[in-house]
């Protein structure tokens, strides 16, 4: 019994300071973990509120908020492990190597992700806009992190990767409220230009056509076999195609009624040897 008591006393003298030291470190690490966890959640909420105030897209809000939360909590766990004496150098190296491997494996996806972030931040177009990019045109149905979904005029769904979309030329036909119609007509050299101009201006008398600035007709070019007239007018974006369709439908008959002949394409004569 005396031996056991002596052993206990010796063990307590040996391990007591170590236990006290590690209990203090463990307590401090636990407090740091709890406090840091609370602060990270608070910071993430503040960031989400700021993005909401700045009207950042909801998809991007959720993704950025989750990304910040995960990164900060991983760093917190590494710091807490370091506080209690765990060697974190190799742990950080493993995380770095894993991140590099994942980045190399997902180069295309990361490029699409970066493109999606840029599109959602700078908003070159929005849902409902009619755009042309990467050789396709259509109405924007969805803007997601990795790709954008377009609906074409004949109701086909086209999925465009955001990486190529953000790095290419984008034509947004819905960005401006008004559009200019440049309607070119080729009339014969014998045609009366005054009558042709009157016919075109009469066709421009449409409630959908803006009168400020007023429609004008100019001679845009003198071709080899025709005089090129250009009717230039302004209309709202929504009425653009309706005005053009009306001009296509009524132009020929209106010019013909006024005695103005459209230019005929040059005829090709093919000589067949006897």
Q: 172, 207, 241: which is the final residue of a domain? A: 172
**At a CB cut-off of 8 Å and minimum separation 6, what does 161 contact?**
108, 112, 115, 146, 147
- Does residue 218 belong to any structural domain of this protein? yes
For the entire predicted model, the pTM comes to 0.61
**Co-location of 158 and 203 in the same domain:** no
d(CA 93, CA 174): 49
Structural domain range at position 140 = 129-172
Do residues 192 and 227 lie in contact, with contact meaning Cβ atoms separated by under 8 Å? no
- Does residue 265 belong to any structural domain of this protein? no
Number of domains in the chain: 3
Q: 121, 151, 186: which is the final residue of a domain? A: 121
**pLDDT tens digit sequence for 93-150:** 666 766 666 555 555 667 888 888 888 778 899 889 999 998 899 999 988 888 899 9
Tokens 């007709």, located at residue:
217
Beta-sheet strand order (sheet of 227-236): 178-187, 227-236, 216-222
**Co-location of 85 and 135 in the same domain:** no
- Does residue 263 belong to any structural domain of this protein? no
**Co-location of 116 and 18 in the same domain:** yes
**pLDDT tens digit sequence for 209-241:** 999 999 999 999 998 889 999 999 999 999 999
**Co-location of 21 and 115 in the same domain:** yes
Any idea what the Cα angle at residue 88 is, between residues 82 and 89, rounded to 5°?
Answer: 135
- Does residue 272 belong to any structural domain of this protein? no
- Does residue 188 belong to any structural domain of this protein? yes
Tokens 């009306």, located at residue:
246
**Co-location of 89 and 153 in the same domain:** no
**At a CB cut-off of 8 Å and minimum separation 6, what does 131 contact?**
125, 137, 138, 140, 150, 170, 171, 172, 173, 174
The count of other CB atoms within 10 Å of the CB of residue 116 is 25
d(CA 166, CA 114): 9
**Co-location of 112 and 158 in the same domain:** no
- CATH of residue 39: 1.10.287.1260
């Amino acid at each position: 019994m005396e031996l056991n008591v002596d052993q206990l006393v010796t063990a307590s003298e040996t391990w007591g300071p170590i236990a006290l030291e590690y209990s203090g470190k463990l307590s401090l690490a636990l407090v740091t973990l709890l406090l840091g966890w609370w602060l990270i959640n608070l910071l993430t909420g503040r960031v989400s509120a700021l993005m909401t105030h700045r009207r950042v897209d909801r998809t991007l809000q959720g993704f950025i908020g989750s990304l910040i939360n995960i990164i900060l909590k991983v760093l917190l766990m590494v710091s807490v492990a370091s506080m209690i004496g765990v060697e974190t150098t190799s742990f950080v190296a493993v995380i770095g190597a894993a991140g590099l491997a994942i980045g190399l494996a997902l180069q295309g996806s990361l490029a699409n992700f970066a493109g999606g972030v840029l599109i959602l931040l700078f908003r070159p177009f929005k849902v409902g806009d009619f755009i042309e990019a990467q050789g396709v045109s259509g109405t924007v149905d969805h803007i997601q992190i990795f790709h954008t979904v377009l609906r074409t005029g004949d109701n086909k769904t086209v999925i465009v990767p955001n990486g190529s979309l953000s790095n290419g030329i984008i034509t947004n036909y819905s960005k401006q409220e008004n559009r200019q119609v440049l309607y070119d007509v080729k009339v014969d050299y014998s045609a009366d230009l005054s009558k042709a101009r009157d016919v075109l201006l009469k066709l421009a008398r449409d409630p959908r056509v803006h009168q400020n600035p007023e429609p004008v007709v100019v001679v845009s070019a003198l071709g080899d076999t025709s005089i090129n007239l250009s009717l230039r007018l302004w209309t709202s974006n929504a009425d653009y195609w309706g005005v053009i369709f009306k001009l296509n439908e009524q132009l020929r008959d209106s010019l013909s009624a006024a005695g103005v002949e459209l230019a005929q394409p040059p005829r090709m004569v093919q000589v067949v040897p006897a």
